Amino acid sequence: MKLLHRPPFAAVLCGLALLVSAPTWAQANYPSKPITIVVGYPPGGSTDLTARTLGAELSTRLGVPVVIENVGGAGGGIGAQKVANAAPDGYTLLVGANNEIAINRLVSSTVKYELKDFTPIGLIASQPMVLVASMKSGVKNVDQFISLVKSNPGKFSFGSSGVGTSLHLAGEMVKAQGGLFMTHIPYRGVAPLANDLVGNNIEFGVFVLSSGLPHIKSGRVLALGTTEKKRSAASPDIPALAENPALSGIDISTWFALMAPAKLPEAVAAKLNKALAEALQSPDLRRKLEDSGSAIAPLHVDMAKFLVDETAKYKKIVAFAKIKE
């Protein structure tokens, strides 16, 4: 009988060691190739600007190219789903806003991903939204806005960039807090909403601050108030809606976070978290994001608690507005 050749015992051990250590080696040498940051919107918006600004800083710190991939559609949901489905190796990341990370799954039955499908790396920045009035409305401040809408229930409308967006939820929060009855008009983006406000075809609207400021500064619409608890450093002359006693509970913003697929190795997550923390201290990044209306996130945010708290807030607004697609 011919005996089968058996490899030396030492060679077997060596082969097993290589198999066991391959993932560890890959993690220790991460990153060794370009990283892709997915953005769930077309180029040019606030999420895209945040991603591109952060991507340049991460590239410098991690020593590899960082490529931005715009995957628009479904309110950022298609891009978010792509990252949720990606390999958890740190080479496919998401810079997303609260719409696609936390809100979409509350308002749409077609969204298949959940928070558990991501590894949160960290918060990047946030910016308030701003409630504005058209010039035809005749409203000059929050008191006049509340008085006019309350005395004419159902007569007036407010516009946002779409059903279930953070802009829509901000408007619904104003309605809930102030006991107001207004009709929501969803637009396919900010541009058509701005056109109708400037053209006096709708009385009120909600913008992300960075999108609203050009129209406010040009005098084509009037800012009534921002949606965070305190005034924005980018627009200190615009009052916070919460300064009015009738709207004191208003506190909602658009925020941006860096996310990875679930089950990301701890070593890779730690490297990304460190690179993000260093990037957020960059004077160039801070200047660019602050000029756009954003406030840089504080370091060491407990992302798990933050996402739970934010989701609970959105659930209440969604239930009040009866939003479900």
Total number of domains in the chain: 2
Average pLDDT (148-169) is 93
Q: What's the token pair of residue 113?
A: 């991903």
Average pLDDT (44-52) is 89
Domain boundary among 218, 247, 276: 247
> Are 132 and 258 a contacting pair, CB within 8 Å?
no
Q: How confident is the model at residue 22 (pLDDT cuts 50, 70, 90)?
A: low
User: Are 135 and 272 contained in the same domain?
Assistant: no
Whether residue 65 has pLDDT greater than 50: yes
Query: What distances in angstroms separate CA 115 from CA 196, 253, 280, 303, one per listed residue?
Result: 36, 19, 24, 11
pLDDT tens for 199-252 read 999 999 999 998 899 999 999 999 999 999 999 988 999 999 999 999 999 999
Query: What distances in angstroms separate CA 239 from CA 141, 226, 244, one per listed residue?
Result: 9, 6, 9
192 is a domain residue: yes
For residue 293, what pLDDT is reported?
85
For residue 127, what pLDDT is reported?
93
25 is a domain residue: no
Whether residue 7 has pLDDT greater than 80: no
Q: How confident is the model at residue 50 (pLDDT cuts 50, 70, 90)?
A: very high
Average pLDDT (256-264) is 98
Domain boundary among 247, 264, 282: 247
Domain boundary among 217, 247, 277: 247
Average pLDDT (105-130) is 94
Lowest mean pLDDT: which of 50-54, 95-99, 188-192? 188-192
Whether residue 299 has pLDDT greater than 60: yes
User: Are 210 and 139 contained in the same domain?
Assistant: yes
User: Are 134 and 236 contained in the same domain?
Assistant: yes
Average pLDDT, the chain: 91
216 is a domain residue: yes
Give percent of the chain with pLDDT exceeding 90: 78
For residue 10, what pLDDT is reported?
57
Whether residue 271 has pLDDT greater than 80: yes
| CATH number, position 117 | 3.40.190.150
For residue 16, what pLDDT is reported?
56
User: Are 231 and 281 contained in the same domain?
Assistant: no
User: Are 205 and 167 contained in the same domain?
Assistant: yes
Whether residue 1 has pLDDT greater than 50: no
Candidate ranges 17-26, 120-129, 189-198, 298-307; pick with highest mean pLDDT: 120-129
User: Are 93 and 109 contained in the same domain?
Assistant: yes
Q: How many residues appear in the chain?
A: 325
User: Are 261 and 236 contained in the same domain?
Assistant: no
Whether residue 4 has pLDDT greater than 90: no
**Which domain range does residue 174 map to?**
128-247
User: Are 228 and 239 contained in the same domain?
Assistant: yes
Lowest mean pLDDT: which of 89-98, 218-227, 258-267, 314-323? 314-323
| CATH number, position 224 | 3.40.190.10
Separation between Cα atoms, residue 215 and residue 257, nearest integer Å: 27
User: Are 169 and 275 contained in the same domain?
Assistant: no
User: Are 148 and 241 contained in the same domain?
Assistant: yes
User: Are 270 and 122 contained in the same domain?
Assistant: yes
For residue 219, what pLDDT is reported?
95
Q: Which residue has the tokens 């998401």?
A: 94
236 is a domain residue: yes
**Buried residues in 230-260 as b, exposed as e (16+ CB within 10 A):** ebbebbeebbbbbebebbeebbbbbbbbbbb
